[in-house]
Each structure stands twice: as C-alpha cells, then as structure tokens.
C-alpha cells in the first residue's frame, strides 16, 4: 500500500497539494514564505503545520513519504531575471537536497518549474538538479506538460520532475500520452484570442480560444493578466475569479489573502501557482502506475535537454512522449469564462499596437485591424 503522507515545500497557495489531495493524498506539513500565500494555506488546509522558511527546517516531518516542491522560478523564467539555478531565489532547491540527504524513507520527490529552465544557460539548471539527484541515489524522469491537456484554456508549459529511489518514475510520468492538443481551434477566426498586452515587439503569447500562461506580474507588484480579443472586437482581461478557475482552483481560493494584502496581490499568487489538474493526474498514476517500455528510447545527448527524459541507475535516455498526457474535453474561452472581463485600457491597447508595428512578428489576419478599431472606439 502506498503511503500517502506529503510534505509540501514552496507550497505557494497549495496547488500541488490540492491536486494530490484529489488523489487521496494528504499533507503532513507545508512551507511557504510569502505571508499572503501562507495565510491562504492556513485557511484552506486547517490544522496543518505551515513553516515559513525552508532554511529553518532541520528535518522532514515524521511520516513523510512524498516531498513536493514548486521551487522558485524567478531566476529561471524567460520573463524573469535569467540568473539561473544559482540565483538568489532558485538556489533554494538546495534546501530540498539538504533535507533529502538526511532522510531515508522518502518514496517520491515531485518538482515543478518553468519550461525555460531546460534552455537557460544551456540547461545548466537541469544539469545541476539531475546530477544532485543521482548523487543521492535517485532515479528520475521529467516531462514538459501543457495545461491545455487537461481541458483548461491556458497554454501553460511546465516541467514536471519526479524522482524515486524505490519506484520507477517513468511508470507515472510517461504512460499517458494523448499525442495532440485537445484544443482544436488553433486557426479559427470565430473564437477569442489571448495575448500578452504587455509585449508585442518580440513575442505575443498568442493563444487561440485560450490564454498564454498567467504570470505573477511586474517586480513592483502591478498585475498583468493576459488580454483577450473577442470575435466581436471587444478586448479585456479576465477576472481574478476566472483566473483561479483557469489554474483549476475553486473560485475565491485566494480570497483569504485580502485579509493581509491588497486584492491585486491575488494575481501574483495565481501567476506563481501550478495547474491543479496536473497533480491530480500525477497522484492517480502514483496510485496506479502502468508499465513503460523505454527499450527503444534514444540515448540522452549532451547537446540539449529535450521535453522529456529519464535516468534509471544513471543510464540516461530521452522519452518521445508529447506535452499532452491527457486529452480531456477542452472548454475554450468562448464557453469557459463566467465573469465579465475588464476592458483593456486605451494606453495598454495603443502601447501594444505601437510595439507590434515596430516589430516583425506575425499576427493572425484581422487581429491588428480589430485592435485598432477597438482603440478608435474607446
């Protein structure tokens, strides 16, 4: 029987823990330094000890069999500092290794972070993480997973990394493969289009009937939820309630944070969080693993980190699985949104248009003209 005791490090607002709980796992303790996020955890997981600094934890709580860690991504994100795994935030992954080195009975370690970590500084973050796990005697597997795979209209790519000394992580992470996105509206003009209104010159984040990944906002705490251009020409940003739903949380999950922080801080909490259904899926597969045949998987080369790979007894190979483990019924933005959007301001819309016109990015037919018409009518 699988032991279901989970210790969540860098828990944020509890997305991994909520997903694991849906699979019958329960948290023995949590850890989160952000005061607002910690307050959400204390509200949503009553009676569970919540540490506020992983560096002060001497050992994992008694009974822990699974450690989860959505460790800080600020230094690894394409929109962050790009200082890498040794940055002032992301280096905290070392605290996971410190705790593991003093623990003998951990069955699983589950990490989550941004896809850009595979490429930043030639993948040095992955070099470091995989080498450290192997030094501690762990087998590992990772896979880039797209939130759209679980039916949510958010094109969000995240690396899901699973390690174990006693189990084969491939039997959890690779055995489900839908091979294609459930979002079939990639070329339709009759569906909403999500985009980053804060960009436009070098990237757009364009997503059809979906939004690009929710972000934490600016370094000074200004929210920057993605914009949505609707077929009728309206342009707006989703409400915080729909943003929570886009990550798989119940509405108002982050509402308790308003007890100690301004309401806009909820956007940071949601942007920094994980997509809950991914970890419901992971918990299901830990409960019911399936056989994986890696016999014909190609050897992992030193040139770059692919979207999926594994190491068993330090033999490293690439897996050819896709970013879509599941093909759940996709509910596009045209049907998903429950609450009115906030109209995009004239300044934001014209700023995007200015950057788009000075750059050389391709936009869908009619996109720029519709956005111009919108600004003319504000």
| Residues labelled as active-site residues | 73
Return the bridge partners of 164, or none: 139
132: tokens are 């450290």
CA distance 66 to 105: 9
Reference 71, options 170, 161, 169, 148; nearest CA is: 161
Beta-carbon count within 10 A of 234 CB: 15
**Residue with structure tokens 């795979």?**
149
Backbone phi, psi, residue 121, to 5°: 50, 45
Residue with tokens 């001497």: 58
Judge whether 169 and 163 are in contact, CB under 8 Å.
Answer: yes
| Contact criterion met (CB below 8 Å) for 161 and 70 | no
Alpha-carbon span 341 to 346, nearest angstrom: 15
SS3 154: strand
3-state SS class at 19:
helix
Backbone angles phi, psi at 309, to 5 degrees: -160, 170
Handedness of CA 100, 130, 268, 218 (dihedral sign): positive
Give the chain's end-to-end CA distance (angstroms, integer).
61
Cβ(237)–Cβ(215) below 8 Å: no
Q: Which residue has the tokens 């364009």?
A: 206
List of residues 6+ apart from 65 with CB closer than 8 A: 2, 3, 4, 5, 6, 105, 106, 107, 108
**Residue 82: how many CA atoms within 13 Å on its side-chain side?**
7
Residue located via tokens 């979207």: 307
């Amino acid at each position: 029987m699988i032991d279901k005791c989970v210790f969540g490090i860098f828990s944020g607002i509890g997305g991994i823990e909520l997903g694991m709980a849906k699979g019958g796992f329960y948290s023995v303790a949590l850890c989160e330094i952000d005061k607002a996020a910690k307050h959400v955890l204390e509200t949503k997981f009553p009676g569970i000890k919540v540490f506020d600094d992983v560096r002060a934890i001497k050992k994992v709580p008694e009974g822990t069999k699974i450690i989860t860690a959505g460790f800080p991504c600020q230094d690894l994100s394409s929109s962050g500092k790009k200082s890498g795994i040794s940055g002032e935030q992301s280096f905290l992954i070392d605290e996971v290794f410190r705790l593991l080195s003093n623990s003998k009975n951990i069955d699983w370690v589950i990490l989550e972070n941004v896809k850009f970590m595979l490429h930043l500084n030639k993948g040095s973050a992955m070099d470091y993480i995989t080498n450290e796990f192997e030094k501690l005697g762990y087998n590992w597997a990772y896979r880039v997973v797209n939130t759209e795979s679980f039916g949510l209209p958010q094109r969000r790519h995240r690396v899901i990394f699973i390690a174990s000394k006693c189990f084969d992580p491939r039997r959890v992470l690779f055995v489900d493969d839908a091979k294609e996105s459930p979002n079939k509206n990639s070329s339709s003009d009759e569906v909403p289009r999500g985009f980053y209104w804060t960009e436009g010159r070098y990237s757009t984040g364009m997503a059809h009937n979906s939004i690009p990944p929710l972000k934490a906002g600016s370094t000074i705490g200004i929210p920057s939820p993605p914009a949505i251009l609707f077929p009728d020409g309206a342009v707006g940003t989703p409400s915080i309630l729909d943003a929570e739903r886009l990550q798989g949380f119940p509405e108002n999950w982050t509402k308790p944070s308003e007890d100690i922080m301004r309401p806009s801080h909820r956007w940071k909490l949601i942007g920094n969080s994980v997509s809950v259904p991914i970890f419901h899926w992971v918990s299901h597969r830990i409960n019911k693993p399936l056989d994986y045949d890696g016999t014909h998987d190609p050897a992992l080369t030193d040139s770059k980190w692919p979207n999926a790979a594994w190491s068993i007894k330090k033999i490293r190979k690439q897996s050819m699985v896709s970013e879509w483990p599941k093909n759940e019924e996709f509910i596009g933005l045209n049907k998903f949104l429950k609450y009115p959007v906030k109209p995009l301001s004239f300044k934001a819309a014209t700023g995007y248009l200015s950057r788009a016109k000075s750059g050389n990015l391709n936009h869908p037919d009619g996109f720029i003209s519709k956005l111009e018409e919108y600004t003319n009518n504000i």
